[in-house]
Amino acid sequence: METLKTHVVHGGTLRYLKHDSPTTGTPMTLSVFVPPGEGPFPVLIWLSGLTCTEDNFTTKAGAYAAAAEHGIIVVAPDTSPRGEGVADDDAWDLGQGAGFYVDATEAPWAKHFRMESYLTGELIALVDAAFPTTKVRGISGHSMGGHGALTLALNHPELFQSVSAFAPIASPTRCPWGEKALGAYLGDDQRAWARHDAARLIEAGTAHGVYDEILIDQGDADPFLAEQLKPELLVEAAKASGQKITLRMQPGYDHSYFFMASFIADHVAFHARRLKG
């Protein structure tokens, strides 16, 4: 991986990195924060939402004071492949910046949009090879990234020991954002969509017993709450399957990084207890 720039923050080191990905067939960018000390350290992977790059979380979430305190490496990848020759769409909720953390099977997306394989295979291996990790990791994210964190943790429980989310798209098979993206990337067969729907996975008991608790924060002033996010579907699924979910409805908070910055320390501590315990 090529280091593009480096900053010292809260006694640790923040690097912006770039590498050529054989999985996506494109250059991919990310940021990695390593806390002070010799390590090794557990890892928290953060997945961002629609339109974001690795820079949104890195500069706005304010996660690194807590990560330094708890001794956690934080990895924030980009949300999709990008560049010349990569398929895109004029709409902001599809294409570049909107990878939805799935492996696309439909043209023109299938050639490059392989974010599930990139994250669960290539990225984890690169980080473990380049940084002092314990090879123990959690995953979190916001909105589209919250969807990705939940579905990747549920589908790959061997890779993650903890999972949380901010304002996740709880059931993309039952909301406009998800129906549009999954239809484009995976085609018309909705049986293929179910594997990427956190509420349906939880209801089916996927990875039941692996995660002692899933933490979710949601602002009650979020403009996307009723139509797109639908966290009540996660609660219903958890009751049906016995999976413990803690849904914290935060009064007055919206969908912005101000919301995440207000509660990110809680999430870092949540993961630290599980990754270091």
> For residues 32 and 167, what is the distance between their CA atoms, to the nearest angstrom?
23
Between the alpha carbon of residue 194 and those of residues 139, 150, 151, 237, the distances in Å are: 20, 13, 10, 14
Selecting among 70, 142, 147, 255, the annotated active-site residue is 255
Q: Is 255 a catalytic residue?
A: yes
| Listed residue (141, 202, 131) closest to 167, CA to CA | 141
> For residues 273 and 277, what is the distance between their CA atoms, to the nearest angstrom?
5
Kindly report the number of other CB atoms within 10 A of residue 261's CB atom.
13
Q: Is 222 a catalytic residue?
A: yes
Q: Is 196 a catalytic residue?
A: no
Phi first, then psi: what are they for 223, rounded to 5°? -70, -15
Selecting among 164, 222, 267, 271, the annotated active-site residue is 222
> For residues 197 and 66, what is the distance between their CA atoms, to the nearest angstrom?
30
Selecting among 21, 48, 140, 143, the annotated active-site residue is 143
The residues annotated as belonging to the active site are: 143, 222, 255
